[in-house]
Homo-oligomer: A and B are copies of this chain.
Amino acid sequence: MTEAAPAPAGDDGRERLLRRIGAVRDLSKLLAAPLSPEDQQVQSMADTSPTKWHLAHTTWFFETFVLAPNVADYAPFHPDYGYLFNSYYEAVGPRHARPRRGLLTRPPLADVMRYRAHVDDALSRFVAETPAEVLNPLVPLIVLGLHHEQQHQELLLTDIKHALASQPLLPAYRGDLPVRPGKAPGLSWVEFMGGEHEIGADPASGFCFDNETPRRAVLTAPFELANRPVTNAEVLAFIEANGYAMPMLWLADGWAWVQAGGANLWGEAAPMYWRSDGDGWGEFTLGGLRALDPEAPASHLSYFEADAIARFMEARLPTEAEWELACALTYRPGANPNLMAAGLLHPGPPAGEASRGLYQILGDVWEWTASAYAPYPGFKAAPGAVGEYNGKFMVSQLVLKGGSCATPPGHIRPSYRNFFYPGQSWQFSGVRLARDSS
């Protein structure tokens, strides 16, 4: 975690921080609101966590790292919650096994909501009342806790999507989600000059995670990126060309993954949530089962699928450096990408104009890169327990960029590095093609 943003000076800074805390913490509750206590407890695979666990774990972060060490006589809400709601911090002690989170009927949801209130209250008082010279050095940690909670907000949505899709009744997360129709532009290529340029985050410019640093120069050859992500129509063409049955299109590990059943929840040779009926393809969404929109970006692709589809389309995946360079050059903060705040919670055709030829560089779907998730040269993990945040996952995963339709407000930037294993596809993960300049 790195934070160089000015610490709150005087009441005004405190006030802004309190409002920000309130906004993030309230959003988590809002996201859980459509779900019953039963829904909030279920865990449908080892990769996912129950909603209730997300609500508690994000609270545990503030209690463990901010309140307990800094508030005199702070009384933890419950002595066992440290064990129950630690995710993976070895430095903090033992913890409840991840694949067993769905067994936790106790504490009940009501207790977890009281836990949230208890910690919110203590945190608000701490921020409001602590002398500036004590508070200010802790502000980066509090802000890290907010970004941490935002990550879990996206996971809350993708995890419950999987849990609902795993049930025969296929219930919607929300039955009232709007759908935005539209057309995908034809596939075209945008060229970028190579050369030496800088990527990564400069902590002086605002919040970033430790894994985005240090900013440094890289060399790239000239390259081209597709003007928009691969669409469902293009994945359909891959399926109709029998792409899931052609080993030459797949990485060896990817072919083994296909042979072992792939990710589709109903055993189809298709992306995770596609479901065929007599007439055609539907897709399970947070709004329930819908007809597949051929114009929307394909989502819930594993890296293996992304790579095979790119090969089928005679292209490749971009490297992280290529992607980040392109994003930094085309990204306009004023644009209105399809992030969580757009309210769709599903990828769709582009709503706005292209920026320098690129549509949807942020939002809609996370875009797989061909780059392994590895430390940047000179990377140093943050000191202390929060140093386990990012660094210890730096093997066997691939970087994804750009955020998705489930990414919370203010939680995406060109240097942001998301990372998953190549066989995972329960995130809103898609693909933007790249190719060498000819």
- Contact surface of A with B, Cβ cutoff 8 Å: 36-39, 41-42, 44, 80, 83-84, 88, 90-91, 96, 100, 102-109, 163-164, 166-169, 171, 196, 216-221, 247-248, 250-255, 303-304, 307, 319, 370-372, 374-375, 377-378, 388, 392-396, 398, 422, 436
Give chain B nearest CB distance to A387 CB in angstroms.
9
In the assembled complex, 12 residue pairs joining A and B whose CB atoms fall closer than 8 Å, in A order, are A38-B105, A41-B41, A41-B42, A80-B169, A84-B169, A88-B252, A105-B163, A105-B164, A105-B171, A106-B167, A107-B169, A253-B393
- Which of A107, A247, A372 has the most C-beta atoms of chain B within 10 angstroms of its own C-beta? A372
CA distance A71 to B67 in the complex (A): 64
Q: Are B377 and A319 in contact (CB under 8 A)?
A: yes
Q: Are A108 and B374 in contact (CB under 8 A)?
A: no
Instruction: Kindly identify which residue among B39, B102, B251, B307 contacts A102, using a CB–CB cutoff of 8 Å.
Output: B102
Instruction: Kindly identify which residue among B107, B307, B378 contacts A221, using a CB–CB cutoff of 8 Å.
Output: B378
CA distance A422 to B90 in the complex (A): 21
Closest partner residue, chain B, to A160 (CB atom): B105
Give chain B nearest CB distance to A91 CB in angstroms.
6
Q: Are B252 and A392 in contact (CB under 8 A)?
A: yes
- Which of A83, A166, A169, A398 has the most C-beta atoms of chain B within 10 angstroms of its own C-beta? A169
Instruction: Kindly identify which residue among B103, B252, B370 contacts A166, using a CB–CB cutoff of 8 Å.
Output: B103
Closest partner residue, chain B, to A303 (CB atom): B395
Give chain B nearest CB distance to A414 CB in angstroms.
19
CA distance A25 to B62 in the complex (A): 47
CA distance A195 to B346 in the complex (A): 44
Within 8 Å CB of A37, what residues of B?
36-38
Q: Are B248 and A219 in contact (CB under 8 A)?
A: no
CA distance A106 to B84 in the complex (A): 25
